[in-house]
A and B are shown apart, each in its own frame.
Chain A
Amino acid sequence: MKILVALKQVPDTETRIKVAADGKSIDPADVKWITSPYDEYALEEAIRLKESKGAEVTVVSLGGDSVKDVLRNALALGADTAVLLKSDASDPLAIASALAAWAKDKGFDLIMAGNKGIGGDNASVGPMLAELLGIAQANVVVKLEIGDGTFRAEREIEGGTEVIEGKLPAVITAQKGLNEPRYASLKGIMGAKKKTIEEIDGAAPAGSTSVVGMVMPPARPEGRKLDGEPAQQAAALLNALKDEAKIF
């Protein structure tokens, strides 16, 4: 089985975001970059399939030289080969198109990714990639079973999960809960240093959306503290929610 895992480099979730001087992107100063957390579940699942069923795991990421950190980390965790698609595409459809153009004749049985990248939060590259490759999809998956040319996935929906059955090849996007990602071993880290990351000039399809402005969230109105004994605090809160906020 050939598995592709698409990875995205994103700012650490504990990073405080600032808008850059151009007014439409984030200020990269003081940002710590990590592999998007949902992508870690995708990679872990691929490595577990490799261990249980035997598979060749390729990781791919789009971007410039900086994303090599993410790819190197994936090699340390157990991926076999890593590909850097050099591209400055930032729109979801352009990214999905660049990935599809490269992946379409590589014979991947399974393509894994996080259900969304932390940042753009569109959660759309996975389903777009599935459509562009003309294959099945299951998104926000918390449990995955691979059969003989088939898959069974449980995905999160409102108030429960739904079971999706389909044919491989497929794009599966991971949700927290799918597995518990491992840490890289020292041996893995040393081994990854010796591996080469293949660099390919990715297609640069024109984007269909662009970010034309970015602002910080509006400041929240000043709040107030409610004093007294617990019973008094409780009564004061419910009265405020009823009379001031008009919630009840």
Chain B
Amino acid sequence: MILVFCELKDGKLRKPSAEALSEGRRLADASGKSLGALFVGASNAGAADAANYGADLVLTCEASHLASYSSDAFASAISDAVKTKGATVLLGGATAMGKDALPRAAARLGAGYAGDVTGLSMVDGKLQAVRPVYAGKAFATTAFSSNVQVATTRPNVFTATEKSGPGVMEALPAPAGDFKAIVKEILAKGTGKADLTEANIIVSGGRGMKNGENFAILEALADALGGVVGASRAAVDAGWGISHGMQVGQTGKVVSPTLYIACGISGAIQHIAGMSGSKYIVAINKDPEAPIFKLASYGIVGDLFEVVPELTRAAKAMGIGQH
């Protein structure tokens, strides 16, 4: 069996989980295996949605003491499910929770782990993963020698494809409630916007923004396009009050949106490493020699303080991002 650890948010299957399930379905079909979806929590209402992405079996591990995330409890629940079902491949989205729980579960299972993969295949009955290394400066192929193989799939890379599966529901026993650590509270930023790693459109600013207040014009463009705002290391480190959570690059977030608009970003190697996986790149920069133009699908040599507001105006006029 190929087992996919799935996450729900507000009772709905999270997109990175749907992507992992779809990829799991494809691998299961290619290797003659079945596909299981695993949900862990106090309430797993909404878990049946996994059947819409091809799950043969939907496993739920439910207990009131699993209401808050605990790495040791979730890793137990996940590794127990792998053993109970005799799964040989364990997948999950490379989300904050997936990247926290699955390596721990892998260690418990004595299994190899490949994080943030962008390609998967089955070779001689075992998983093989393609993944960016050095933040995307190169791509490595990872082969596994362990009986169980574990991987997390990078959000926005695999396509979530609806495909009806039997989705037979089965409840699994929950792990005991003596946790070493547990989430006590979530401090949301309250923007309600997508995380950089999951965003389809990113408008990013660099040193050319000159100060933090000027990021307002990027916010306006991002709002008009239905995207989110990112920043280069230069902008984050400049002391403009730009949060490091917004940083795109080798020492920040590695992103792969459909559209990445780089404003006043020259294109340092460590920044390019974090965004070169974007499908379309737009560069807006005064300096026609800026290295970012070498990557750009569309380049605009010009003053971002003139071009960006024009883009916002035109996007609103065209009704882009309204649907």
Interface residue ranges, A against B (CB under 8 Å): 11, 13-17, 19, 24, 26, 37-38, 91-93, 96, 118-124, 126-132, 135-140, 142, 151-152, 154-167, 170, 175-177, 206-217, 220-221, 223-226, 230-231, 233-235, 237-238, 240-242, 245, 247-248
Contacts and interface: CB of A to CB of B under 8 A. Distances in A.
Nearest to A248: B320
A230 B305 CA distance: 10
B286 to A, nearest CB: 12
B187 A26 contact: no
B100 interface: yes
Nearest first, the 6 A-B pairs at minimum CB distance are A166-B181, A208-B112, A124-B103, A136-B180, A234-B310, A209-B112
Nearest to B75: A131
A152 B136 CA distance: 33
Given A209-B142, A209-B143, A214-B138, A122 B104 contact: no
Secondary structure call for the B interface: mixed
Contacts of B182: 164-166
Contact of A121 (B111, B132, B194): B132
B302 A121 contact: no
B233 to A, nearest CB: 9
B164 interface: no
A211 to B, nearest CB: 5
A32 to B, nearest CB: 12
27 contacts: A14-B269, A17-B137, A120-B133, A123-B103, A136-B72, A137-B181, A159-B193, A165-B184, A177-B245, A206-B145, A209-B113, A209-B144, A210-B145, A211-B141, A214-B133, A215-B138, A216-B137, A217-B136, A217-B276, A225-B293, A226-B300, A234-B314, A237-B298, A237-B300, A237-B311, A240-B298, A241-B259
Contacts of A175: 244
